[in-house]
């Protein structure tokens, strides 16, 4: 029979942060709250890409946080990376996605799948924050069905010639390196895709209009277009036909980053709602005295804690080298839907003040929504989880 004692000893993993992880959390929190939080409302209102936030991340040696020192990184683990994303998001969601798209969607695949020459060439400037990364998979006519990409890459000698468009590119006009997934042969479907690192300034590479979004308004999001754009074969990540797998491997890591972002957004909203509940008076009491408010605060905190543990679990799996596709999808699915539920409740705690821009509650709610959509919608996460379950993984 199970006793309380042997239940406790059967717990497989301790989620206590190491001293180093705790230090990362405190350091980034301090910086994000002091520097990024005060600018977040203005960035949102003016739809302004906060280049100064990027420069501060670079000066703080954070742009290559999970990569080895030999490539200019900080050599830290992925739990630390998730902590960094969460702390940035709790202050400014725009800054967190600028950061996670750079690290997870561009530098990380180059680190995992690049040749030594590619790593030496691309990673040091990215880790130093001198070059900003982006990822280009979706197209005007294909989002969830990633294999249906129509942007063509035709090989001619030692170059590919790119023609077509890519949509919803985070870091849009601001990035320097774009990891582009393109098709070499429509008949081959996902087996015809190729992953190419395209540099800003390449001939025929132009930008569409900036998207006017519901949230993360400071993040630069646009379409990118290629017209006879030459890309050296030396910039191909993996082999011919590996593009789909490069994209899926990239998104496995990226989805943990978005889950961490969702946790940070929910935590930031909760922090503001909790503070407000201790100040706002109704019926001669501060509203934190009412069970209606206490229960909302309790529910939100419980859900944030559960989501954070899923993020840490997926990050530990990523660091261990085991396949973590399902863990990443669990974390993204739960954390993003939790962030949406939680931020709606935080607006409710603020009442009328939650509905206006004088307080940040409405911004957190708008910023939360995208976490259910980008890097694979909630529906795609359920598909990935189900596919893994059916395979016995």
Name the residues annotated as catalytic: 375
Q: How far is the CB of 370 from ligand CAA (least distance, A)?
A: 9
Q: Smaller CB distance to ligand CAA: residue 246 or 307?
A: 246
Cβ pair 174, 220 in contact under 8 A: yes
Q: How far is the CB of 148 from ligand CAA (least distance, A)?
A: 8
Q: How far is the CB of 26 from ligand CAA (least distance, A)?
A: 28
Residue 135 engages ligand CAA in binding (rule: CB under 6 A): yes
What is the residue whose two structure tokens read 């790593």?
A: 119
With CB under 6 A as the contact rule, the residue among 153, 249, 269, 311 that binds ligand CAA is: 249
Site size with ligand CAA, rule: CB under 6 A = 25
Enumerate residues 6+ apart whose C-beta is below 8 A from 3: none
Can you tell me the distance from the alpha carbon of 211 to that of 113, in angstroms, rounded to the nearest whole number? Answer: 31
Cβ pair 338, 64 in contact under 8 A: no
Q: Smaller CB distance to ligand CAA: residue 74 or 106?
A: 106
Q: Smaller CB distance to ligand CAA: residue 246 or 346?
A: 246
Q: Smaller CB distance to ligand CAA: residue 244 or 359?
A: 244
Distances (CA, A) of 226 to 106, 146, 166, 178: 19, 18, 9, 12
Q: How far is the CB of 93 from ligand CAA (least distance, A)?
A: 13
Cβ pair 331, 258 in contact under 8 A: no
With CB under 6 A as the contact rule, the residue among 113, 293, 384, 385 that binds ligand CAA is: 384
Strand (E) or helix (H) holding 25: helix 19-31
Q: How far is the CB of 197 from ligand CAA (least distance, A)?
A: 15
In the numeric block, which tokens belong to residue 191? 């087996």
Residue 251 engages ligand CAA in binding (rule: CB under 6 A): yes
Enumerate residues 6+ apart whose C-beta is below 8 A from 14: none
Residue 361 engages ligand CAA in binding (rule: CB under 6 A): no
Can you tell me the distance from the alpha carbon of 127 to that of 20, in angstroms, rounded to the nearest whole number? Answer: 20
Residue 147 engages ligand CAA in binding (rule: CB under 6 A): yes
Enumerate residues 6+ apart whose C-beta is below 8 A from 18: none
What is the residue whose two structure tokens read 């939080």?
A: 37
Residue 170 engages ligand CAA in binding (rule: CB under 6 A): yes
Residue 246 engages ligand CAA in binding (rule: CB under 6 A): no
With CB under 6 A as the contact rule, the residue among 18, 70, 144, 186 that binds ligand CAA is: 144
Residue 329 engages ligand CAA in binding (rule: CB under 6 A): no
What is the residue whose two structure tokens read 């350091």?
A: 27
> Which region among 4-12, 207-215, 249-257, 342-350 touches ligand CAA (by CB under 6 A)?
249-257
> Which region among 20-28, 68-76, 240-248, 272-280 touches ligand CAA (by CB under 6 A)?
240-248
> Which region among 165-173, 227-235, 302-310, 353-361 touches ligand CAA (by CB under 6 A)?
165-173
Site for ligand CAA in 17-46 (CB under 6 A): none
Residue 245 engages ligand CAA in binding (rule: CB under 6 A): yes
Reported for 10-14, long-range contacts at CB under 8 A and 24+ positions apart, including other chains, are: 13/313, 13/316
Residue 248 engages ligand CAA in binding (rule: CB under 6 A): yes
Cβ pair 99, 61 in contact under 8 A: no
> Which region among 142-150, 179-187, 269-277, 348-356 touches ligand CAA (by CB under 6 A)?
142-150
Q: Smaller CB distance to ligand CAA: residue 21 or 377?
A: 377
With CB under 6 A as the contact rule, the residue among 244, 270, 324, 350 that binds ligand CAA is: 244
Cβ pair 200, 242 in contact under 8 A: no
The conformation of residue 16, written as its DSSP 8-state character, comes to P
Can you tell me the distance from the alpha carbon of 336 to that of 323, in angstroms, rounded to the nearest whole number? Answer: 22
Residue 186 engages ligand CAA in binding (rule: CB under 6 A): no
| Beta strand segments in the chain, E | 133-136, 152-156, 159-170, 177-183, 193-199, 205-210, 221-232, 236-237, 281-282, 285-286
In the numeric block, which tokens belong to residue 208? 């569409």
Contacting positions for ligand CAA (CB under 6 A): 101, 135, 137-138, 144, 146-147, 168-170, 190, 244-245, 248-249, 251-252, 325, 374-376, 380, 383-384, 387
């Amino acid at each position: 029979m199970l006793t309380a004692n042997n239940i406790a000893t059967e717990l497989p993993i301790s989620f206590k942060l190491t001293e180093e992880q705790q230090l990362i959390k405190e350091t980034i929190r301090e910086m994000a709250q002091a520097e990024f939080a005060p600018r977040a409302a203005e960035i949102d209102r003016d739809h302004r890409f906060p280049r100064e936030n990027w420069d501060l991340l670079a000066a703080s040696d954070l742009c290559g946080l999970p990569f080895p020192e030999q490539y200019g990184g900080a050599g830290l683990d992925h739990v630390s990376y998730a902590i960094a994303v969460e702390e940035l998001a709790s202050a400014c969601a725009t800054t967190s996605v600028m950061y996670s798209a750079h690290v997870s969607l561009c530098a990380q695949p180059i680190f995992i799948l690049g040749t030594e020459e590619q790593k030496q060439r691309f990673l040091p400037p990215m880790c130093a924050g001198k070059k900003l990364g982006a990822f280009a998979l979706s197209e005007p006519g294909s989002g969830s069905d990633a294999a249906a990409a129509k942007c063509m890459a035709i090989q001619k000698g030692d170059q590919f010639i790119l023609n077509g468009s890519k949509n919803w590119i985070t870091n849009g006009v601001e990035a320097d390196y774009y990891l582009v997934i393109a098709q070499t042969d429509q008949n081959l479907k996902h087996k015809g895709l190729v992953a190419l690192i395209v540099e800003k300034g390449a001939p025929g590479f132009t930008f569409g209009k900036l998207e006017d979004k519901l949230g993360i308004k400071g993040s630069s999001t646009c379409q990118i277009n290629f017209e006879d754009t030459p890309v050296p074969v030396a910039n191909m990540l993996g082999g011919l036909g590996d593009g789909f797998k490069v994209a899926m491997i990239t998104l496995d890591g990226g989805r943990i980053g978005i889950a961490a972002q969702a946790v940070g957004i929910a935590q930031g909203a909760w922090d503001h709602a909790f503070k407000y509940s201790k100040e706002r008076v109704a019926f001669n009491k501060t509203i934190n005295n009412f069970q209606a408010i206490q229960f909302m605060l309790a529910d939100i905190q419980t859900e944030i804690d559960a989501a954070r543990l899923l993020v840490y679990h997926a990050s530990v799996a990523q660091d261990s080298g085991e396949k973590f596709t399902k863990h990443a999808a669990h974390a993204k699915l739960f954390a993003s839907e939790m962030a949406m539920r939680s931020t709606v409740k935080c607006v409710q705690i603020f009442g009328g003040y939650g509905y206006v821009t004088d307080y940040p509650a409405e911004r957190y709610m708008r910023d939360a929504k995208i976490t259910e959509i980008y890097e694979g919608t909630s529906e795609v996460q359920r598909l990935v989880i189900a596919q893994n379950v059916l395979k016995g993984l």
